[in-house]
Amino acid sequence: MKKSDEPVVIDTSQVQGVLLSGHGKLNDARFILLRIDEPLAAKKWLADVRPEITNGHHRPEDEAVQIAFTYAALVELGVPRQTRAGFSVEFEEGMTAPHRSFMLGDSRESAPENWEWGGPKNEPVHILLMLYGKGPTELEALVQRHRKLATDGGLSVVIERETHTLFDGIGYREHFGFRDGVAQPRMDAVPSHELAHRRGAMREDAHGNTIKAGELLLGYENEYGHYPVSPAAGIDESRSLPEKTYGRGGFDLGKNGTYLVYRQLEQDVYGFWKALHDKVGGDSKDRDYVAAKMVGRWPSGAPLVKAPDHDTPGMELDDSFSYISDPKTADPHGEKCPFGSHIRRSNPRDSILSPDVDRAIQLSKRHRMVRRARPYGLPVDEKFRSEEVIEKGSDGASRGLNFICFNASIARQFEFVQHTWCNSPKFAELHNDPDPLIGEQTRLDPKGGDFTIPGQPVRRRVTELQRFVTTKGGAYFFMPSLAAIEYIAKVRDMTPLQKHVAFFDTDNDGIISIGDTYRGHRRLGISQFYSALFSMIINFALFFQTKGKFMQIKVENIAMGKHAFDTGIFDDDGMLDEKVFDELFSTATGASGEPSDEDVITRPEMNAFVTAGGDRGRPNPGGLPHWFSQRETELIFCLASDAKATVDGKDEPAITRRTLKDFYRGDLFPKIERLLAYKRVGGFGL
């Protein structure tokens, strides 16, 4: 752990560049969502495309390439289960899990069943390929090349999302016409490369707008003083990952990576302005005033706490304000910038969360995100004039926002803000006031939500607001570091023999200590005595053979520790020879005909099976190996007996061919832990 006075240094050569800067000079972009069809070919494609991934060292002038993966993609690409277990639950479950859809307000027209991509009725999305170009021509050439590389590399295009910036000469706008992307947090860290320090998320800023690196990147301390949950690899064949210096060890797959949230948000621009126009009785000045109150800024970007009554030139990119602590902008009652406005509820700064201003800022920092959103579709009016939008009417065109944000904790940052602050109709002691732009308006009242403008002597309330933003697609992604991309491209799923023992590697550091072995046996329901006994025997027998330290088994080298009864079933690399397995099973049981998953083997037959599992023609070694083989057989029967067989007129426990094969494939122990952990059977104190 670093001392508080030591600056945190970020290796910007490992961080994908879009997190540090949104590639604003590259006006055009295409987000390509891909499906993995052939995992091996896709891994080669990933290795080939890795050198083109844009890192944070340099500001790209012509083009940029970024990449991110869903949890399902990591499964397809063979990232081991033990390594994937280090990812967050929300990333694994995905955006469309029913309880997450509820939290995010994805109901009715925004329900995942109605999405264009990412929903349960759509093709699976595995990879997000983000391509940026300085102009349409450059972008199209980049897209054509990468589309061909992807389709030739075992991938299929699910959907492509066109996107661009809406630059007005000063900054960027979104389709409702308001300035966007002004308020961004900065990392309290220094870059390993000086160029990154002058821009984007690495720019120096006031204390109230700087957050710990661990709020955005895995592998660093966050605002709680802890490290975010981060995946670790027990084996790194790429030799590219750094060792994990916190937590339980292993190789740090998460470091310098981040979680990316992508939501396609369709905007009803005409519906928004027409609704406000009707609710204020057609008064254009009042319409724009109410719209500004809903957003918290004027369309130009001027913040309401500094310009509460009318738009003010020169404040377009102004983000230097607070709601409580600065006397010049103090707005404790929300009379300048309403509590329910979009920018105040999505980033409360020093208000609402605590009467102690410093504490309020600290709490607010724990829910900040870096946003890299880009619009899609053409604007209704190029100058973003509300009166022109109303006059033109609805053109039926598709337009909206490709919302993208980065955070180290999807649950604590993105989901918390969306659910607790934006979707809550009771935010800041309001009544029926969800976020007027992105909130779920009908959660409490089917007629719609309200928006309250505090004032003296009385407040003003706009009622029965409908939804003007509809979710059309979305997914959670992991955007890895450059080193992690190399690992993913080269990782092999564990061999069956490695899987078999990796169950005991409880901290996933590639080393099985005697304590790991003991805890693994206990997770299988084995008594303390036998867990301790087996742990001492197993670790003593295998530490030397696997080249581990004293009483420590090295998972990577477990194939070197095959005992004499395994060698005919596993090859020298630890791969299961299923043909040999079926041959030995049929010989031991006397089964004839085609092998069936439902064939069973009894305890005496199992002893014959295990004994015959040595190199054929090799004599039974006897002694301790033979004794241990018999104990292993009894243990397997205690844990995995799933059938009965008649022996001498009596029903005896038996194991099906399917279950025994799961044991040799390395898949059985996790199943036993999940399904039989609380089932007590005879033998070994179970």
Nearest to 192 by CA among 293, 56, 383: 56
Distances (CA, A) of 539 to 127, 262, 303, 546, 547: 41, 46, 65, 10, 12
pLDDT given at position 609: 79
Residue type, 424: S
C-beta neighbour count of 315 within 10 angstroms: 19
d(CA 50, CA 43): 10
Nearest to 520 by CA among 559, 555, 494: 555
What's the distance, CA 142 to chain centroid? 27
Please report the DSSP string for 505-557 in residue order. -TT-SSEE-HHHHHHHHHHTT--HHHHHHHHHHHHHHHTTTTTPSTT-EEGGG
Nearest to 664 by CA among 508, 518, 499: 499
d(CA 92, CA 39): 19
Structure tokens at 39: 């995992």
d(CA 328, CA 679): 67
Secondary structure in 3-state letters for 302-356: CECCCCCCCCCCCCCCCCCCCCCCCCCCCCCCCCCCCCCCHHHHHCCCCCCCCCC
Distances (CA, A) of 510 to 78, 247, 261, 499, 532: 17, 14, 31, 11, 21
Q: Which residues, listed in sequence order, are joined to residue 210 by a DSSP beta bridge?
A: 186
pTM of the model: 0.82
Q: What share of the chain is helix, strand, coil (3-state, %, to 5)?
A: 35, 20, 45
Residue pair 423/434 in contact by the 8 Å Cβ criterion? yes
Structure tokens at 258: 């981040």
d(CA 318, CA 17): 25
Sign of CA dihedral 117, 48, 23, 151: negative
Which residues have CB under 8 Å from 245's CB, separation 6+? 252
Residue pair 32/146 in contact by the 8 Å Cβ criterion? yes
d(CA 414, CA 405): 8
Name the DSSP class of 685. Answer: T
Residue pair 428/352 in contact by the 8 Å Cβ criterion? yes
Distances (CA, A) of 448 to 269, 273, 289, 439, 507: 18, 16, 21, 11, 50
d(CA 311, CA 325): 23
Nearest to 28 by CA among 171, 135, 159, 129: 135
pLDDT given at position 681: 39
Which residues have CB under 8 Å from 141's CB, separation 6+? 133
| Cis, peptide link before residue 299, omega less than 30° from 0 | no
Structure tokens at 139: 């972008």
Sign of CA dihedral 308, 309, 310, 313: negative
Low-confidence ranges of the chain (pLDDT < 70): 1-5, 194-199, 493, 562-567, 611-630, 674-686
Nearest to 481 by CA among 220, 258, 197: 258
CA atoms within 13 A on the CB side of 476: 26
Q: Which residue has the tokens 């690495």?
A: 202
pLDDT given at position 634: 75
